[in-house]
Structure 1
Amino acid sequence: MTDLAARPRAGEVEEPRVEVAPVRPGEELDWAALEAYLRTHLDDLDGEFSVLQFPRGSANLTYRVAFGDRLLVVRRPPFGKIARGAHDMAREHRVLSRLYRAYDRAPRALLHCADTSVVGAEFFASEYREGVVVWDEIPESMAQHPDAGRRIGFAVVDALAELHAVDPASCDLADLGRPEGYLERQVAGWSSRWEAVAEYASDREVAELVEEVGRRIRADVPGSQRAGIVHNDYKVDNCQFPHGDPDRVKSVFDWDMATTGDVLVDLGTLLNYWPDRTVDPDSDAAFIVVPGMHALDLPSRAEIVERYTAGSDLDLSRIDWYEAFGCWKTVVILQQLYARFVRGETTDPRMGQRGELVAPLARRALGLLPA
């Protein structure tokens, strides 16, 4: 597969190693307008205003805003052309202003601003939670625990299973989506997203490879078994743990694509991102993972499926389709990020590397699907 310069392994994407950092050049907002808006619409913001950025995300711009000792999280979409339905701050606010009542891993959203004149786009603010996200090594506070990596992995899938057990009506989210026909609409929508960025493929052969994945996905859509809340980007590094505790996920982040639909889409997404130590990371079975995650000694993908199955009555015999669908969506997202870089809509150099993973990930998706 394609090697990525200055990365420890092919298929691994280098990320910053800090939680927060100074704001990247070109990703500054109108801080005075943001400060004034937040002070006007939220209580108890009396301290000195300052901003740092969460640098490890790839799309939405996420900032840690401080008013003295009071910390908030502010999120807005990336700059540039946005795919229809993507980076939906109103949706993320809606989910997080309600879901916390039934699922305590959801940080509580505090306000949504639809006035794009404040910072150039819609945004929302939520509570800030202290904790640790597992990226490329076992956190120092967990290092003394035996089998910490395996425990982290099982905690991640347990938190997903608990989300899927939530009754959307219990937190006023019954009308978040339309479960009937969900998979068919998802497949059609991601097909359209690919078409919008296909021109940025490195060559026609790569474009045809991705299009063949889409053809096989569309040809064999499984029947949905259960509707529930779907996160739609569930993975290890969207989970936060308490310091020193590898056995429980404290928070789950990035809810802008959340909906109600076929819950197995989330499990397929998780498997797509899973840094499986049983698979050669330099083979054509490419995974997009943070450097170092292969060394965490997480459970295998088979063990993750088994763990999820143990607490569910769902038939997982078609899970390969869901994993391939998750892989295909990742291919499209990578192409969108690369297109944004080519169009000059981001200065983040990582985005210029995203296109290199399109072909190997498409080949992995094909390997999961019948011809």
Structure 2
Amino acid sequence: MSENESTLMGIDQDRVEGWIAANTPLVPPLTWTRLVGGHSNLTYKVQDQRGTLAVVRRPPLGELQPKAHDMNREYRIIKALWETGVPVAEPYGYCEDPAITGIHFYVMGFVHGQPLGSTTDADTWLPVDKRGNARESFADTLAALHLVDPIARGIGDLGRHDDYAGRQLKAWYRSWVTSAADAELDDPRVHSLHDWFAAHRPVDGPVRLVHGDFGVHNCLFDDDGRITAVLDWEVASLGEPMADLAYLLNMWLEPGEESARGGSMTAKPGFGPRAQLIARYSAVVGGIDETKLQYFIALNHWKSACIVHGVYTRYKRGQKSSVGVDMQGFVDAARRSLELAETSVAKLGL
């Protein structure tokens, strides 16, 4: 729905359109449409006088946590990846002047594509004979990302270059430990696995950009099943490529499998097994360290338990309403993730 005739949430329309006219290829006045669903930031689709579509993105209203919703970081990543072979929206401009609309924002091109948020979407938009294309596109896209040298692309200052596994362990163990009392939920496996992971941290490889949430839910697809854009770079960081691949593999379920948090559309016919995904990715990047990959598969399961535990804790603290929420489901998911982590560690035989 167009919001031109009412006040745009978080947008001073006259000032923003003035800035856009001076700093981007767009020609105002613009038609504005709020994009909702899956967007923690305020995101608008706009159309200019020539019919060109674009997207304006700014942080949510209200007080923000330090380093959260960093539009400059997100814009720099997109700009660095543009024309590298990684499918992202074209960067149009970043506004750092809060006098324009009270906070920073950026403008990027609009990318046509279909999101696949559920198995129903897969049934509707991705025929069985196109799902193999999607698998290949996932492997090719992630490999393309991990072949980009962030230093050469000007984003080598996004964060530390060393000890990615150690940084992940520290952050998510702290989350579990500081939440356990309020959650009234602890598990000795969290602590023993943490110690094992810390003692067996793999040697760092060349620093690469890690998306951190690369999956079906953060991609757009064309009618042929190919990825047209990778979305939501908010949690991207410098780190270990195998962490991204492990995350994708843990969500890439095969027929008859179920993850800690339920099923996955990839278990439907046509998507193919994880082995094909790994083989394609490996061929593009020139080979992978399978032991390191297995380590990060295990670590990701452990991290998933910590994430679910954190969400559960917010409900227990009353920070979110638990009315109608399956609270036991969070507990079961955390425990199942820990079981998967133990099984994955055992495969390493260390």
Confirm or deny: 8 A CA contact 1:164 1:263 kept in the other structure: yes
Matches within 5 A, 1:65-144: 65-67=45-47, 69=51, 70-76=53-59, 82=65, 87-112=69-94, 123-135=105-117, 136=119, 137-138=121-122, 140=124, 142-143=126-127
1:305 corresponds, among 278, 282, 288, to 278
Letter in 1 for 2:46: A
1:363 maps to 2:339: yes
Cα offsets for 1:272-298 (capped at 9, x unmatched): 22223252x2xxx525555x4532542
1:217 corresponds, among 190, 194, 197, to 197
1:329 corresponds, among 300, 303, 306, to 303
Q: C-alpha separation between the residues in 1 aligned to 2:28 and 2:90? A: 21
Q: Percent identity?
A: 23
Q: C-alpha separation between the residues in 2 aligned to 1:81 and 1:301? A: 38
Please tell me whether Structure 1 or Structure 2 has the larger radius of gyration of its CA atoms.
Answer: 2
Residue of structure 2 equivalent to 1:263: 241
Q: What TM-score do the two structures reach when normalised by structure 1?
A: 0.74
Cα offsets for 1:14-49 (capped at 9, x unmatched): xxxxxxx999xxxxx962634345213212352454
Query: Cα 1:221–1:289, aligned 2, differ >3 Å: closer, same or farther?
Result: farther
Confirm or deny: 8 A CA contact 2:260 2:334 kept in the other structure: no
Helix, strand or coil for the counterpart of 2:11?
Answer: helix
Q: C-alpha separation between the residues in 2 aligned to 1:22 and 1:359? A: 45
Letter in 1 for 2:337: L
Confirm or deny: 8 A CA contact 1:75 1:125 kept in the other structure: no
Confirm or deny: 8 A CA contact 1:275 1:287 kept in the other structure: no
Query: Cα 1:190–1:90, aligned 2, differ >3 Å: closer, same or farther?
Result: farther
Q: C-alpha separation between the residues in 2 aligned to 1:196 and 1:118? A: 39
Query: Cα 1:132–1:336, aligned 2, differ >3 Å: closer, same or farther?
Result: same
Q: C-alpha separation between the residues in 2 aligned to 1:128 and 1:213? A: 43
1:153 maps to 2:135: yes
Query: Cα 1:254–1:332, aligned 2, differ >3 Å: closer, same or farther?
Result: farther
Q: C-alpha separation between the residues in 1 aligned to 2:131 and 2:74? A: 30
Matches within 5 A, 1:335-354: 335-340=309-314
Q: C-alpha separation between the residues in 2 aligned to 1:341 and 1:171? A: 41
Confirm or deny: 8 A CA contact 1:194 1:332 kept in the other structure: yes
Query: Cα 1:71–1:344, aligned 2, differ >3 Å: closer, same or farther?
Result: farther
1:33 maps to 2:11: yes
- Which of 230-239 and 63-72 deviates more? 63-72
Confirm or deny: 8 A CA contact 2:146 2:208 kept in the other structure: yes
1:276 corresponds, among 254, 265, 285, to 254
Helix, strand or coil for the counterpart of 2:209?
Answer: strand
Query: Cα 1:33–1:132, aligned 2, differ >3 Å: closer, same or farther?
Result: closer
Confirm or deny: 8 A CA contact 2:2 2:32 kept in the other structure: no
Cα offsets for 1:146-202 (capped at 9, x unmatched): 63223212210111011111222442223333323333223222323334444453x
Residue of structure 1 equivalent to 2:211: 231
Helix, strand or coil for the counterpart of 2:45?
Answer: strand
Letter in 2 for 1:155: S
Over aligned residues, Cα RMSD in angstroms?
Answer: 3.7
Q: C-alpha separation between the residues in 2 aligned to 1:352 and 1:75? A: 32
Q: C-alpha separation between the residues in 1 aligned to 2:322 and 2:42? A: 14
Confirm or deny: 8 A CA contact 1:184 1:221 kept in the other structure: yes
Query: Cα 1:329–1:359, aligned 2, differ >3 Å: closer, same or farther?
Result: same
Letter in 2 for 1:364: L
Higher relative contact order (CA 8 A, sep 6+): 1
Deviation at 1:232, TM superposition (A): 1.6
Q: C-alpha separation between the residues in 2 aligned to 1:310 and 1:272? A: 20
Cα offsets for 1:73-96 (capped at 9, x unmatched): 4253697774x6554433212211
Query: Cα 1:204–1:237, aligned 2, differ >3 Å: closer, same or farther?
Result: closer
In structure 2, the gaps of 5 or more residues are: none
Compare the two structures and name the one with the higher helix fraction: 2
Q: C-alpha separation between the residues in 1 aligned to 2:291 and 2:297? A: 12
Query: Cα 1:170–1:150, aligned 2, differ >3 Å: closer, same or farther?
Result: same
Q: C-alpha separation between the residues in 2 aligned to 1:129 and 1:254? A: 13
Letter in 2 for 1:308: Y
- Which of 132-141 and 262-271 deviates more? 132-141
In structure 1, the gaps of 5 or more residues are: 1-20, 24-28
